[in-house]
Amino acid sequence: MRKDILWISITLAILVVDRITKILVLHYLPYAQPVVVSPFFNLFFVYNPGAAFSFLGNSGGWQNWLFSALALVVSGFIIVKLWCTAYQQMCFQVSLALILGGALGNLYDRIVYHHVIDFLDFYVKDWHWPAFNIADSAICVGAIMLIWLSIQYNTNLKK
């Protein structure tokens, strides 16, 4: 088995699931009107022109190009890193593939729509976590995995 099959498969799976969910959101959810799913979760379709938590969301449009360029640079770096990583470092590959798939999913939105489509809304009483999407989730899970791997690596170095 080629070593690149794992990370390419994960990246493509994230991209496909992200695109399918966003297409469904665009076609079936009303904009900015919550659809209650449970006492702590809504489907809530909104556009996010900014970055995480709508950072720079009201900056007039230039931020779309900045975040697109950043996503391209980071994606290029990740692809090079994945290509040069040994297959035995499977957790590292999975974490980077999750981040890559998420970055490319949101990059697609920025290029095609000039904003990111968010729709997952978790909350407790009146406190709402900012809406997010599948791509954002993949980026977060990949980042958490990288932090965990870094802690494990540093712990093993001290032994």
Catalytic positions: 118, 136
Maximum alpha-carbon separation in the chain: 55
Ordered DSSP codes for 87-118? TT-HHHHHHHHHHHHHHHHHHHHHHHHSSEEE
- Percentage helix, strand, coil for the chain under 3-state DSSP, each rounded to 5: 60, 15, 20
Buried residues in 131-157 as b, exposed as e (16+ CB within 10 A): bbbbbbbbbebbeebbeeeeeeeeeee
User: Which of left, alpha, beta for 60 (phi over 0: left; psi -120 to 50: alpha)?
Assistant: left
